[in-house]
Amino acid sequence: MKLIIATPSPFARKVRIVLREKAIQFEEQVDGPWNPNSIVSKINPLGKVPVLVLDDGEMIYDSSVIIEYLETLRYEPALIPLDANQRIKVRQIEVLADGIADAAVLITLEKHRIEKIQSLDWINRQQTKIDAGIAALSKQLGRSLLFCDDALSIADIATACTLGYLDLRFPDYDWRSNARNLANLTTSMEKRGSFKVTKPVVQDIAIVE
């Protein structure tokens, strides 16, 4: 199988980490979703990464759907609990982390527009979502080391990927001061081999007019 990615994408990184944690063999192909000749725009109607291309040519897109598919392959470790209550909790945290990442991407794109047409109100609105999302994640984690009974789950991976993306795009944004537990979680996650080899790297984005 092949995974189409962009190197800074927290969504692509989430899947890249899951594949490595499960020791599933795959090929990575870097694409630029914002480039006119991008591959992903031809295989995903939404023009977004990641896209998983299966050996039979079938395409699976959206990071959460890809991870759901990978869970069905029964490779260990399982990263989505079978227990219904725990499953909903973990998926809800994943959605929250993804929502923060979405807001961060929107700010990044807005800041790549010509300065005179950038909307400060739009940027502030997205920043409010990020601040509220981090506060909610911190409350969910509490004093625990991980979100789900001290077992690694997609909640931990998604959260660490999102926070790593914030560090990449907004290095002056001090989210750690009011979320020390999330800072500790992220530090712990970044020590894992799967995280070390998937550190986000900026790709060029064309100026949006």
Do 2-78 and 84-193 fold alike per CATH? no
Rounded to whole angstroms, the Cα distance separating 163 from 172 reads 13
Domain boundaries, the chain: 2-78, 84-193
Residue range 146-153: average pLDDT? 93
What's the one-letter identity of residue 54? Answer: L
Residue range 86-96: average pLDDT? 97
State yes or no: pLDDT of 179 exceeds 70: yes
Q: In this structure, is the dihedral angle defined by the CA atoms of residues 170, 171, 172 and 173, taken in order, positive or negative?
A: positive
State yes or no: pLDDT of 206 exceeds 70: no
Residue range 65-84: average pLDDT? 97
Cβ neighbours, 10 Å, residue 187: 11
Q: Fold for domain 84-193?
A: Glutathione S-transferase Yfyf (Class Pi); Chain A, domain 2 (1.20.1050)
For all residues of the chain together, what is the average pLDDT?
95
pTM of the model: 0.96
- Structure tokens that stand for 128 in this block: 């409010």
Domain 2-78 CATH (choose: 3.90.1170.40, 3.40.50.720, 3.40.30.10, 2.60.40.3500): 3.40.30.10
Percent of the chain with pLDDT over 70: 98
State yes or no: pLDDT of 35 exceeds 90: no
Closest CA to 44 of 4, 73, 89: 4
